[in-house]
């Protein structure tokens, strides 16, 4: 077995390593492939939301998009994490990106044929979601192998910025492409091309071999598979951060309902939907760049709790707004608050987890994230169908604030987290 050397433990007499992430060649290619893939996903999300709502006109059908993407991650969690800790993480990415590109091309072809039912979209999304389930733990764990430990907090922030950068440009590009470049068919074709660009840049990352699992031969397969869940449960601060992010976003998430707000509440079209989808990323990108250049100092845990409360408050403001600029402003602040939470959660997990377990812990974390995002969309869809889009969003924002207050009492260890740089893997 080829053992990976920890980035913070260079060989004897090795040249000094830079603490700046972009000084490391492989991280540059890693960052670029994340941007390409993330832009493709965001463009595709805009097209899918608008296309399904245009076909059915029902909010609940938008919620099923989240379920189709989340179910594979939940069902495959033990397999995806185990794979990321046993096989070359770069090769996992390359294989999964090939599946994603095929799915995008399939959506483009079916849209060109004309669709009157959302069922074919859901079926392809299940395949797409299965590929994404393997991407998340492999990608997050691979990043820790590309930079020294001193650069890891900054690398995490920059990695988050890649998603936010894509979330700014992707939805806007997707909305305008939908309106002026052939509708859904054109959007999916562009997304397929971007995923292929991600394959090219990911292939430029030098192979890293297999992680050093350091697991004893008498340790059962099941025990190794669930090690990620056991690890999270054994660390109260990590458990509190992960579950708070999950429950808060599950309650407060309104992404699935943006097509309804764009068309029925704010009176705009696909272009307006693209602007709404990109607004949270504007605030998040600003904070991501700030944290990449000036990482959080003291009271990181308390900062996360306050940020989630702000997230809930901005969700309420968005739900009550009837103005496109005000809605974009609320979503931008919502995204900024969410980035603080993401940074604390991601840093806690990556810094506290030994490399031999990062794939399995990352897979468990990906399920928590999926539950917050995709199941949050399902929750929003059901509530909107029952109560209407505006009450669904406002009630969700109130729930987020109440849950955060409860979590502060249930997980005092999270509030006591001070400097992230002091967190160590055991």
Please tell me the distance from the alpha carbon of residue 94 to that of residue 135, in angstroms, as a whole number: 9
Span 396-414, average pLDDT: 87
pLDDT at position 374 is 63
pLDDT at position 320 is 92
pLDDT at position 1 is 34
Contact, 42 vs 171, CB < 8 A?
Answer: yes
Tens digit of each residue's pLDDT (9 = 90 or more) over 84-115: 778 888 899 999 999 999 999 999 998 888 77
Of 119-128, 215-224, 378-387, the poorest mean pLDDT is in 215-224
In this predicted structure, the answer to whether residue 334 has a pLDDT above a threshold of 60 is yes
pLDDT at position 194 is 94
In this predicted structure, the answer to whether residue 414 has a pLDDT above a threshold of 50 is yes
pLDDT at position 313 is 93
Tens digit of each residue's pLDDT (9 = 90 or more) over 162-208: 776 776 777 778 877 887 777 888 899 999 999 999 999 999 988 66
Tokens read off for 88: 């070359």
Categorize the per-residue pLDDT at 375 as very low, low, confident or very high, splitting at 50, 70 and 90: low
> Within a 13 Å sphere around the CA of 265, how many CA atoms are in the beta-carbon half?
23
Of 10-19, 305-314, 331-340, 402-411, the poorest mean pLDDT is in 10-19
pTM: 0.67
In this predicted structure, the answer to whether residue 209 has a pLDDT above a threshold of 60 is no
Within 10 A of 8 (CB to CB), how many other CB atoms are there?
Answer: 13
Per residue, what are the HEC states of 162-191?
HHHHHHHHHHHHHHHHHHHCCHHHHHHHHH
pLDDT at position 22 is 81
| Cα 322 from chain centre | 28
Q: Which of 374, 351, 359 is nearest to 421 (CA)?
A: 351
Q: Which of 259, 243, 253 is nearest to 396 (CA)?
A: 253
Span 6-19, average pLDDT: 46
DSSP string of 325-366?
A: HHHHHHHHHHHHHHHHHHHHHHHHHHHHS-GGGHHHHHHHHH
Q: Domains of the chain by range and CATH?
A: 21-204+223-422 (1.20.1250.20)
More confident residue, 189 or 387: 189
Categorize the per-residue pLDDT at 11 as very low, low, confident or very high, splitting at 50, 70 and 90: very low
Contact, 99 vs 127, CB < 8 A?
Answer: yes
In this predicted structure, the answer to whether residue 314 has a pLDDT above a threshold of 60 is yes
Within 10 A of 320 (CB to CB), how many other CB atoms are there?
Answer: 14
Tens digit of each residue's pLDDT (9 = 90 or more) over 120-160: 899 999 999 899 889 888 887 787 778 776 677 777 778 87
More confident residue, 342 or 168: 342
CA torsion 249-125-138-24 (nearest 10°) is -90
Q: How many helices (H) and strands (E) does the chain have?
A: 17, 0
Backbone angles phi, psi at 272, to 5 degrees: -65, -35
pLDDT at position 426 is 57
More confident residue, 31 or 178: 31
Contact, 14 vs 146, CB < 8 A?
Answer: no
In this predicted structure, the answer to whether residue 24 has a pLDDT above a threshold of 60 is yes
In this predicted structure, the answer to whether residue 366 has a pLDDT above a threshold of 80 is no
The C-alpha R_g of the chain, in whole angstroms, comes to 21
Please tell me the distance from the alpha carbon of residue 2 to that of residue 32, in angstroms, as a whole number: 27
Beta-sheet strands, E only, within 240-295: none
């Amino acid at each position: 077995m080829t053992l990976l050397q920890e980035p913070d433990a260079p060989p004897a007499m090795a040249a000094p390593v830079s603490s700046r992430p972009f000084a490391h060649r492989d991280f540059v290619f890693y960052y670029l492939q994340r941007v390409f893939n993330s832009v493709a996903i965001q463009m595709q999300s805009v097209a899918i939301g608008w296309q399904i709502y245009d076909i059915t006109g029902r909010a609940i059908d938008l919620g099923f998009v989240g379920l189709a993407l989340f179910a594979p991650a939940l069902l495959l969690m033990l397999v995806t994490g185990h794979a990321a800790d046993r096989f070359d993480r770069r090769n996992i990415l390359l294989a999964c990106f090939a599946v994603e590109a095929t799915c995008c091309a399939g959506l483009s072809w079916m849209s060109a044929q004309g669709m009157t039912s959302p069922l074919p979209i859901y079926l392809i999304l299940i395949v797409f979601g299965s590929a994404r389930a393997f991407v998340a733990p492999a990608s997050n764990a691979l990043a820790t192998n590309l930079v020294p430990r001193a650069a890891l907090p900054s690398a995490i922030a920059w990695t988050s910025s890649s998603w936010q950068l894509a979330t700014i440009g992707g939805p806007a590009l997707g909305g305008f492409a939908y309106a002026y470049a052939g509708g859904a068919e054109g959007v999916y074709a562009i997304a397929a091309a971007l995923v292929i660009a991600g394959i090219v840049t990911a292939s430029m990352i030098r192979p890293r071999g297999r992680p050093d699992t350091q697991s004893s031969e008498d340790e059962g397969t099941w025990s190794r598979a669930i090690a990620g869940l056991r690890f999270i449960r054994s660390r109260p601060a990590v458990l509190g951060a992960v579950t708070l992010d999950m429950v808060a976003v599950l309650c407060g998430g309104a992404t699935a309902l943006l097509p309804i707000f764009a068309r029925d509440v704010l009176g705009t079209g696909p272009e307006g939907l693209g602007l709404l989808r990109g607004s949270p990323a504007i605030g998040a990108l600003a904070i991501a760049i700030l944290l990449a250049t000036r990482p959080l100092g003291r009271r990181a845990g308390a900062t996360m709790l306050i940020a989630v409360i702000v997230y809930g408050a901005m969700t309420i403001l968005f739900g009550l707004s009837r103005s496109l600029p005000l809605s974009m402003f609320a979503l931008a602040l919502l995204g900024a608050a969410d980035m603080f939470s993401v940074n604390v959660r991601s840093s806690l997990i990556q810094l506290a987890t030994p490399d031999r377990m990062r794939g399995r812990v990352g897979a468990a974390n990906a399920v928590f994230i999926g539950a917050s995002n995709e199941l949050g969309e399902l929750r929003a869809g059901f509530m909107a169908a029952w109560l209407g889009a505006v009450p669904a969003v406002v009630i969700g924002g109130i729930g987020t604030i109440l849950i955060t207050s409860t979590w502060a009492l249930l997980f005092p260890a999270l509030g006591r987290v001070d400097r992230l740089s002091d967190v160590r893997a055991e």
